[in-house]
Chain A
Amino acid sequence: SQKIEQNSEALNIQEGKTATLTCNYTNYSPAYLQWYRQDPGRGPVFLLLIRENEKEKRKERLKVTFDTTLKQSLFHITASQPADSATYLCALEGSQGNLIFGKGTKLSVKP
């Protein structure tokens, strides 16, 4: 069955550093992969979508890569700020067109 893994449950970094989050998947060949941000008690907020034929996508301080050979996506936040502290979820399209989420990585950026 389709499996999505976000290897780090939590990631603590210093303000100004680059945060790198990992999403791996197995038994699946998604047409695209998405990243969402979720703050406590709130709904996820869409950040970026990357398609299988795209190697890299950027949006302001965010960068996503997609390696279909390794079955992996990396999500980078450069010049991180305390306001970036949140849980970041990767999501793949399921066989029925629904989103399947990874467990998320809780990022804490310390001043």
Chain B
Amino acid sequence: DTEVTQTPKHLVMGMTNKKSLKCEQHMGHRAMYWYKQKAKKPPELMFVYSYEKLSINESVPSRFSPECPNSSLLNLHLHALQPEDSALYLCASSQRQGYTEAFFGQGTRLTVV
């Protein structure tokens, strides 16, 4: 199984809503990542978890809250988002942080209204 599964595929939420994005991998990878991608831009790193501990937080606003319940799961909790937070949110994993290739999920297309 070389898949990274993200749910939901699409999400529309209001600025006062609380929602969560979920990511799952069963490749035994110990590094997991959240990226944000705006239209016609490259993916931008948000968070890195290494061995279930937060390793990198790229100065992301606190309205985004990551969580890594176990080595296979990664969540991104969303609260009080702004319309400019609308983007494609990508989860990725790799054997370990900084090691070879990353496997990406299909992404969650988030629209904040």
Contact = CB atoms under 8 A, between A and B. Distances in A.
Are these two chains actual partners, yes or no? yes
B88 interface: yes
Q: Mostly helix, strand, loop or mixed at chain B's interface?
A: strand
Interface string B5-34: 010000000000000000000000001010
Interface residues of A, number: 21
What bracket does the count of chain B residues touching chain A fall in? Answer: 20 to 34
A102 B43 CA distance: 9
A51 B6 CA distance: 30
B98 A97 contact: yes
A81 B31 CA distance: 35
Contacts of B88: 41
B43 A44 contact: yes
Interface of A: 32, 34, 41-46, 49, 89, 93-94, 96-104
Interface of B: 4, 6, 31, 33, 41-43, 45, 48, 50, 55-56, 88, 90, 92, 97-107, 109
12 contacts: A32-B100, A41-B88, A43-B92, A43-B104, A43-B105, A43-B107, A44-B43, A46-B103, A94-B45, A96-B97, A97-B55, A98-B56
